[in-house]
Structure 1
Amino acid sequence: MTERYTVISADCHAGADLLDYRPYLESKYHEAFDAWAATYVNPYEDLLADAADRNWNSERRVADLEADGIVAEVVFPNTIPPFFPSASLMAPAPTREEFEQRWAGLRAHNRWLADFCARAPGRRAGVAQILLNDVEEAVREIRRTREAGLSGGILLPGAPPGSGVPELYSEVYDPIWGACAELGIPVNHHGGSASPPLGEEPAARAVFMVETTWFSHRALWHLIFGGVFKRHPSLNLVLTEQGSGWIPGVLDMLDYYHGRLVAAATKASTAESKFGSGLAESMGKGPSQVWRENCFVGASFMRPHEVPLRDRIGLDKIMWGSDYPHDEGTTPFSREGLRIAYAGLPSEEVAAMVGGNAARVYGFDLPFLDRIAARIGPTVAEIAEPLKEIPPEATSPAFALGGSVRVW
């Protein structure tokens, strides 16, 4: 163990400034892009503020992350891709007429992201974007982006009720899973991307906060019960910014239903037998075993109440993230965020959760990053010291724990 931790943020966000996407679009879309951009009103205040350039200013970003003790990052999208009404994580499902332009917009983002990652060699794993409406096009884009240098895998779009695309357990997506498995890149499912539209009533935002992580969790049981990991045993699924404390309980629940339905299928006279028919053959291994072999969690700013569950979640599964540059992220207090979560733990466990696991999942060159961490990484002694005072300027939920109050 070295004197400093090699910290890789498994949850960061970036994207181009709106007009800077134009050169990355195929020329046949330039006229439509100009018309769209001329009337577009950005709905996000943080993308209009002076700090917005943290999304695309490579030099500022490296400096910010290094000041925070972070040597590398997994880069999810954040800004508005061409022809989208809002950030792609939150954009409503497109109409059939919008599909072509939306695809062009995502390809432009992916091209921009490849260039952005190349500006910090070995320190950024960019996550490519796809749509689910055209599986063949998705597979082409997966292969193209991997060849272009994006090593973060793909961002799996949500398929909320009413989305108009098949559910994630559908075998229609097998070519997507197969391509990712073949290329050795993960399928990432990010929190906030799978909720159905809730309208504009006053309660909508509160209901969204209560339900949004649950809708994101659905990808786990859809892919498990859909037999995806039996057909593609080397595929990795990463669930990011959805918390981690829920995992042991959900795995217990999934194991219960799996056992119950498989057993019921052997008793043709029961009313429940039809629910388990064919399940054992199509799934193969049970949910907990699939989790152990194929799944990971981008736990982001792990909360103190989640840390005691680390053995049940799997120490080799947990990947810390700062959520830079979001307000709910830990920047510029990531060292304090690490201390409030991990102080007092064995240093080898901390090293795995803050960087080692992410290096393995996303293919980072750990010896290369270790050399950078020797200069800017937080020290083992620093993170071992319990945090006694929360920085007053901190805005992350990582610091929202007070006394014995549990923050979900």
Structure 2
Amino acid sequence: MSTPEDRYTVISADCHAGADLLDYKPYLAAEHHDAFDAWAATYVNPYEDLLADTADRNWNSARRLAELEADGIVAEVVFPNTIPPFFPSASLMAPAPTRAEFEQRWAGLRAHNRWLADFCADAPGRRAGVAQILLNDVDEAVREVRRTKEAGLTGGVLLPGTPPGSGLPELHSEVYDPLWAVCAELEVPVNHHGGSASPPLGDEPAARAVFMVETTWFSHRALWHLMFGGAFRRHPGLRLVLTEQGSGWIPGVLGMLDYYHGRLVAAASRAATAESKFGAGLAASMGASPGSVWRESCYVGASFMRPHEVPLRHRIGLDKIMWGSDYPHDEGTHPYSREALRLAYAGLPPDEIAQMLGTNAARVYGFDLTRLAPTAARVGPTHGELSEPLEKIPPDATSPAFARGGSVRVW
């Protein structure tokens, strides 16, 4: 039985890091050094947060550990954030380059992955780095998955999007089977992060608003592409994590996918109708229903989980939810993660909170909870602390976790 002084082991399933621009050079093969110097000399960073005084949170290991511990967090899954060599913007957002640019961009991502391995090694057992790949060359992606696994990156691989106009095959295509196969073989989680799959929409005010409305939907597409494409049937060990895309949408979408799956499979088994062709071969290629695939193979990186999403936790699956702070982004919960957790989870059974805050992430990403226990005993939020409902939202909080609605419990 827990006491009010028992502490939670909090693992953030969504944090971001990267090297300062010039610090990537030593991680590039020598043949790219001259090109890197020329590129870096004229490069203008488009992101204000990477030019601010706080930008070093991305690479200053000591500062990062101190700030996360002050926030009650003992370990993190590390997605990219800064600009890798030869990219015009963050690799999540950069449009597909021309064929001539691919070699340099691959070199840039490999440099980031090498840097990230060292960054994770600087805090043993506390960082699970997510490796970056491109999808233009599946064989090269497979090699990079193997190399980064051997290098000690335990956060899995970041799956790029294939937005309309990218020129890449859609994610349901079997052309990606070698990638799914190596990830299943090596038990490498496939992470699909919000913001990585939207097509370019322009920079008008309407375009920016449309991006905000649509960006999570474009990221959700990976779920049904891999499901209907049969990736999980052909590669039973494959695990998909959908991060920073919200979580409240999952039960409804799974219900919709199950509906279409059942409807199309049934239509295909009947005499020729206008609809039968849409389900032809689906049962054989896909196997289990979408709901079953979710329960067996999928997880959600529930970044700054909001109060209105929490009542859906059992329909999503308590063993599927991994809370994330999104450090060091402005929309993240730092330095008010404890308050965000109180707002979302106060009143829940401690064993349920423990699953969403740490146990699930430890299982998916291989964190050793015994190894983390001494740090959690020192800095983790207590059971008593998180049992207290939050009565007042911090006035300078910038995270959507605190977005004001009818009350502090509703968004």
Aligned twin of 1:380: 383
Say which of 97, 114, 126 aligns to 1:123.
126
Deviations 1:5-38 (A, max 9, x none): 0000000000000000000000000000000000
Aligned twin of 1:329: 332
Query: Are 1:283 and 2:293 counterparts?
Result: no
Mapping of residues 248-397 of structure 1, within 5 Å: 248-397=251-400
Distance in 2 of aligned mates of 1:337 and 1:356 = 19
Amino acid at match of 2:201: L
Aligned twin of 2:188: 185
Distance in 2 of aligned mates of 1:215 and 1:406 = 28
Amino acid at match of 2:284: E
Amino acid at match of 2:259: Y
Distance in 2 of aligned mates of 1:94 and 1:216 = 20
8 Å CA contact 2:306, 2:344 repeated in 1: yes
Can you give the 5+ residue segments of structure 2 that lack an aligned partner in the other structure? none
Say which of 14, 17, 27 aligns to 1:14.
17
Amino acid at match of 1:91: A
Say which of 195, 199, 202 aligns to 2:198.
195
Query: Are 1:70 and 2:77 counterparts?
Result: no
Amino acid at match of 1:30: H
- Please report how far the alpha carbon of residue 199 of structure 1 lies from its aligned counterpart in structure 2 after TM superposition: 1.3
Say which of 240, 247, 252 aligns to 2:250.
247
Say which of 7, 11, 16 aligns to 1:4.
7
Amino acid at match of 1:164: G
Q: Any idea what SS the aligned residue of 1:398 has?
A: helix
- Please report how far the alpha carbon of residue 403 of structure 1 lies from its aligned counterpart in structure 2 after TM superposition: 2.0
Q: Any idea what SS the aligned residue of 2:360 has?
A: helix
Distance in 2 of aligned mates of 1:401 and 1:5 = 27
Aligned twin of 1:52: 55
Deviations 1:334-368 (A, max 9, x none): 00010000000000000000000000000000111
Say which of 143, 149, 161 aligns to 1:146.
149
Distance in 2 of aligned mates of 1:154 and 1:407 = 34
The change in CA–CA distance for 1:26 and 1:407 in structure 2 (over 3 A counts) is farther
Aligned twin of 2:233: 230
8 Å CA contact 2:79, 2:129 repeated in 1: yes
Query: Are 1:215 and 2:218 counterparts?
Result: yes
Aligned twin of 2:114: 111
Q: Any idea what SS the aligned residue of 1:224 has?
A: helix
Name segments (4+ residues, structure 1) moved above 4 Å: 404-408
Distance in 2 of aligned mates of 1:255 and 1:323 = 31
- Please report how far the alpha carbon of residue 200 of structure 1 lies from its aligned counterpart in structure 2 after TM superposition: 2.2
Distance in 2 of aligned mates of 1:100 and 1:54 = 29
Distance in 2 of aligned mates of 1:166 and 1:370 = 44
Deviations 1:112-143 (A, max 9, x none): 00000000000000000000000000000000
Distance in 1 of aligned mates of 2:234 and 2:164 = 25
Q: TM-score, normalised by structure 2?
A: 0.98
Distance in 2 of aligned mates of 1:352 and 1:405 = 24
Deviations 1:241-274 (A, max 9, x none): 0000000000000000000000000123211111
Distance in 2 of aligned mates of 1:231 and 1:263 = 22
Distance in 2 of aligned mates of 1:407 and 1:213 = 21
- Please report how far the alpha carbon of residue 404 of structure 1 lies from its aligned counterpart in structure 2 after TM superposition: 5.0
Deviations 1:269-327 (A, max 9, x none): 21111100000000000000000000000001000000000000000000000000000
8 Å CA contact 2:154, 2:188 repeated in 1: yes
Distance in 2 of aligned mates of 1:220 and 1:30 = 39
The 10-residue stretch of structure 1 (392-401 or 324-333) with the greater mean CA deviation from structure 2: 392-401
Q: TM-score, normalised by structure 1?
A: 0.99
Alignment length, in residue pairs?
408
Amino acid at match of 2:194: G
Distance in 1 of aligned mates of 2:75 and 2:182 = 25
Distance in 2 of aligned mates of 1:200 and 1:115 = 37
- Please report how far the alpha carbon of residue 406 of structure 1 lies from its aligned counterpart in structure 2 after TM superposition: 9.2
Amino acid at match of 1:190: H
The change in CA–CA distance for 1:216 and 1:116 in structure 2 (over 3 A counts) is same
The 10-residue stretch of structure 1 (198-207 or 298-307) with the greater mean CA deviation from structure 2: 198-207
Distance in 1 of aligned mates of 2:126 and 2:88 = 30
Aligned twin of 2:96: 93
- Please report how far the alpha carbon of residue 93 of structure 1 lies from its aligned counterpart in structure 2 after TM superposition: 1.1
Q: CA RMSD in A?
A: 1.1
Distance in 2 of aligned mates of 1:407 and 1:180 = 38
Q: Any idea what SS the aligned residue of 1:326 has?
A: coil
Deviations 1:17-60 (A, max 9, x none): 00000000000000000000000000001101110000000000
The 10-residue stretch of structure 1 (114-123 or 264-273) with the greater mean CA deviation from structure 2: 264-273
The change in CA–CA distance for 1:215 and 1:405 in structure 2 (over 3 A counts) is farther
Distance in 2 of aligned mates of 1:145 and 1:98 = 22
Aligned twin of 1:33: 36
Deviations 1:75-119 (A, max 9, x none): 000000000000111111111111000000000000000000000
Percent identity for Structure 1 against Structure 2: 83
